[in-house]
Amino acid sequence: MPHRAAPKVVVPDVVGLPFHVGRDVATDARVALANPDPDGPPIASIAWPGAFVIVRQHPAAGALVHEWDSVAIEVQRDDAGADPTPARSPAAPRPTAPLIADAREDADG
């Protein structure tokens, strides 16, 4: 087997984390999360949209792999968890043209 020049990194523990958090942890550790089925869709397309939690990973946390190797994960919908995306408040309505004109008249005096 040919020698790989990529440095070795430690696989982080992502089990139990929401998918979007686990993806960030994996990226910081310089590994890539992947679908365990190499012929299946990318893992991000499985875990989007919605709240998904990572329930299994291979290799296990603490294993040494080459930088940017794949860590196969399985995700499960987290129906009990709240959507981690903060709610956005609706934008303030834009003033109508007469209100803008009235404001200019008040400023001019």
What integer pLDDT is reported at residue 88 of this predicted model? 36
Q: Is residue 105 part of a domain?
A: no
Q: Is residue 77 part of a domain?
A: yes
Report CA torsion sign: 14, 15, 21, 23. Answer: positive
64-93 mean pLDDT: 72
Q: How far apart are CA 19 and CA 9, in angstroms?
A: 21
pLDDT of 58 higher than 90: yes
Q: Is residue 44 part of a domain?
A: yes
What CATH number corresponds to the domain at position 68?
Answer: 3.30.10.20
Task: Give the chain's domain count.
Answer: 1
Q: Is residue 31 part of a domain?
A: yes
List the domain range (segments joined by +) for residue 52: 1-81
Q: Is residue 27 part of a domain?
A: yes
More confident: 109 or 39:
39
What does pTM read for this prediction?
0.68
Q: Is residue 99 part of a domain?
A: no
Scan for tokens 């998904």, then name that residue: 52
